[in-house]
Structure 1
């Protein structure tokens, strides 16, 4: 398999619960014993979809086609990620309660927002870095002050808050699993007047007392975070973690309708 074929194979594995054509194709390749599993582990790990790969293969009862030592390793990593994500969910709910009590409303974004919305069949599927949330311009400094007063401290330090900066420096609290990023914006300055707090707040979901983006704006942000903020539109590359989120979100909302709600961003969104 070439790198391109390996990338396509991993992507196909992530869809087998929804697409029978891909399911049959994946099973045929698994039976052929022609897969270089060392490469597949490297690629899926580099794209942060290794646990998702395991969960999808397990769900379709395909693990018996894999080497036993690989299955044990995949199970171990996925178990660790599940434990981490459950801790992140607890931390996010604690932060939500702290902020709401102080009359500040956070909107949870990206991986944490998807976990809180119950997007994944298994919370272990998504690899999450920081807890990201968005605030109004008015609540942004209040959120920073509140978290600092409750034990969170800066990881790194700017001399001043750059006007174009989308989020404050990462904050961490001792004995808590995840760092936190407090956002006042979602996009680089070029597009910030189109996709921003005022745009997304009109269609928020409140799930179990937690505010998250609508499914259409979750889909848009999943693409935007990769294509615009990480400049993948320019370099013509793809991140499978973002692609997997978009795939799952496309089962919750109409992708074309979602991207057509934006004008300046329509081309890079449609390109994805």
Structure 2
């Protein structure tokens, strides 16, 4: 059994709500050796999808086919994540109320927003690292100061020279709270700002359905944000390495609104968004709509993804390092020539003496990291 096999096994399990008749096939493909079970758990953990995997098995009465100790472990991970997410919801309420006290409108994005909206089958299903909070562009610093006044702190000092190209304030932490908070002035990096602007998001925002009183992106904007974040900002389209957590979010959102229509209306990055949709259908074993399968765009990305799925850990590690090096040391310097925000991004760092040490340490950690 390979990493590729476990990746697709987890994905097909997550899609059982759409194809419950495939439960027997899932059971047939479950691991037999202990080392294969360990690989499955590692794949699920790497993709931050173990709670969703556990719940899918539970809903379709398949947990009995797992070793008893693995059942207990998955139950433990799920309960731990559920407890954490309940704390995240309470923390989100505190952040909202604090900003509201100073008349700052805030909107919750990504996993936290989806949890607040009840997108998942259970509160404990989605794993989140931090709260992504969008505020009006001119309110980011005020909002951050409010948070710091309530005991939050950053591990990295904010560089005011970089404001023009800054997407969010350095992550704010508080020892007695489970999650960090990112105060965003833009929902995406400066490169994608013109096609996905804060003002449009706020104008079309909706109130959460599960936890009342929270402002969220509408479904169309969440689908677009999912694509921009996973495929462009995190280089998924270039590396062809895709997190199941991001794909699963897209799958759930696609049951609320047709992503093909959303991307057609969006009108940007058509080839890359088609590739993203094709990958979702392929990974979860869904029948691809005729108009999507007839479109030749995205097919090369699918072949690259398949090649990446067959790479070993060392190949994956060096692929990531090479792509990152090209983006940071070739593409970004070239972009400085024509993009004002890119110039701000680069020169604000070069003029910050503390940046050099942080950058060297970050590169060292990446190179030393075990595959």
Return the TM-score normalized by structure 1.
0.94
* Structure 1 stretches lacking a partner, 5+ long: none
Comparing both structures, which one devotes a greater share of its residues to helix?
2
Which of 226, 231, 234 does residue 235 from structure 2 map onto?
231
Partner of 1:71: 71
Aligned twin of 1:37: 37
- Larger displacement relative to structure 2 (142-151 or 15-24): 15-24
Matched residue SS, 2:207: strand
1:38–1:240 CA distance, 2 compared to 1 (3 A): same
CA contact (8 A) 2:133 2:183 kept: yes
1:261 counterpart SS class: helix
| Contact 1:10–1:53, Cα closer than 8 Å, also in 2 | yes
Which SS does the other structure have where 2:29 is aligned? helix
- For 1:139-178, list aligned pairs within 5 A: 139-162=139-162, 163-178=164-179
Q: Which residue of 1 aligns with 2:180?
A: 179
Stretch deviating more after TM superposition (226-235 or 146-155): 146-155
The residue aligned with 2:189 is 188
Judge conservation of contact 1:49–1:126 (CA < 8 Å) in 2.
Answer: yes
Give the Cα separation in 2 of the matches to 1:98 and 1:148: 11
Distance 1:161 1:113 in 2: 30
Do 1:99 and 1:143's aligned partners in 2 also have CA atoms closer than 8 Å?
Answer: yes
Residue 139 of structure 1, CA deviation: 2.0
Q: Number of paired residues?
A: 271
* Alpha-carbon distance, 1:193 to partner: 0.7
TM-score, reference length from structure 2: 0.70
How far does the alpha carbon of each residue in 1:128-165 deviate from its partner, in whole angstroms, 9 at most, with x for none?
A: 00100111112222211211222211222144351212
- Are residues 189 and 72 of structure 1, via their aligned partners in 2, closer, same or farther at CA, if it must alter by over 3 Å? same
8 Å CA contact 2:20–2:60 kept in 1: the answer is: no
d(CA) in 2 for partners of 1:34, 1:260: 46
Q: Distance in 2 between matches of 1:187 and 1:221?
A: 8
Deviating more after overlay: 215-224 vs 260-269: 260-269
Check conservation: 2:173, 2:181, Cα contact below 8 A: yes
Whole-angstrom CA distance in 1 between matches of 2:221 and 2:21: 29
Q: Equivalent residue of 1:131, what SS?
A: strand
**Alpha-carbon distance between aligned partners in 2 of 1:156 and 1:140, rounded to the nearest angstrom:** 16
Q: For the pair shown, which has the larger CA radius of gyration, 1 or 2? A: 2
| Structure 1 residues 235-250: aligned runs within 5 Å | 235-250=239-254
Give the structure 2 partner of residue 85 of structure 1.
85
Instruction: Give 3-state SS (helix, strand or coil) of 2:133's partner.
Output: strand
1:135 — aligned with what? 135
Q: State the Cα RMSD in Å.
A: 1.7
How far is the alpha carbon of 1:76 from its aligned partner?
Answer: 0.7
Superposed displacement of residue 21, structure 1: 4.5
C-alpha distance in 1 between matches for 2:18 and 2:68: 26
**Cα distance in structure 1, aligned partners of 2:274 and 2:167:** 24
Q: Which residue in the other structure is 1:199 paired with?
A: 200
1:107: which partner in 2? 107
Match of 1:221 in 2: 225
* 8 Å Cα contact 1:161-1:168 kept in structure 2: no
**Contact 2:3/2:40, CA 8 A, preserved across alignment:** no
1:87-125 Cα shifts (integer Å, max 9, x gaps): 000100111111112211111011111111111111111
Deviation at 1:202, TM superposition (A): 2.5
CA distance in 2, matches of 1:265, 1:86: 36
CA contact (8 A) 1:191 1:264 kept: no
User: Could you tell me whether the CA contact under 8 Å between 1:17 and 1:23 is conserved in 2?
Assistant: no
